[in-house]
Structure 1
């Protein structure tokens, strides 16, 4: 498991850090880990899985970009 900071996660997903934070507050988006109450990390494999779901043919048929 390779964990990255939210800045790197945002780069991988081509999103803003603020978007990842909003997704966390809303309970949506890729899974993440909270370490020591204030440190957020993302698993690269889970980010790629999330990205694949959001851009795959099923997402496009459902009307998502």
Structure 2
């Protein structure tokens, strides 16, 4: 399992989005991963989901970041 933020963010994405984001410049991947980490920290709903299923919470945060189009 990846330990850096970008690796963890990419692992949280579904395969299709992982491929798309993985092809983006490293700087953009870092920005997206930082937004993902902020989403995980800031959203109380994700805290509850994280208690039940950490991978599901990470995937939901990743989906939200991509949905907002942060780049």
- TM class, shorter-chain normalised? 0.3 to 0.5
Query: Which has more radius of gyration?
Result: 1
TM-score, length-normalised on structure 1?
0.37
